[in-house]
Amino acid sequence: DLKEITVVSSSPNDVAVVSETNTEDLSSQVLFVVKSISQKTGEFTVTFAAPCGKKEILVKVR
């Protein structure tokens, strides 16, 4: 179920992740927007987790 996907930023004060999908009309995909929300640069990790597993992505902010 796509509603069970959780997203965690390693630094939520610097990098935010927002679902841009209407949760009432979920089909087979979900769109997430990863956005820098501070002036801090560097590398951050965003973790997507679901019952079937998890995936970490590296976000580089310049």
Say if CB 45 and CB 29 are below 8 A apart. Answer: no
Q: So where are the chain's domains? A: 2-61
Position 26 scores a pLDDT of: 59
Q: What tens digit of pLDDT does each residue of 3-19 get?
A: 889 999 999 999 999 98
pTM of the full structure: 0.83
**Judging by beta carbons within 10 Å of its beta carbon (0-12, 13-18, 19+), is residue 57 exposed, middle or buried?**
exposed
**Integer CA distances (angstroms), 38 to 6, 24, 57, in order:** 22, 31, 19
pLDDT per residue as tens digits for the range 19-51:
887 656 656 788 899 999 999 999 999 999 999
What pLDDT sits at residue 20? 84
Whether 14 and 38 have beta carbons less than 8 Å apart is answered as yes
Over 90: is that where the pLDDT of 52 sits? yes
Whole-number pLDDT of residue 29: 81
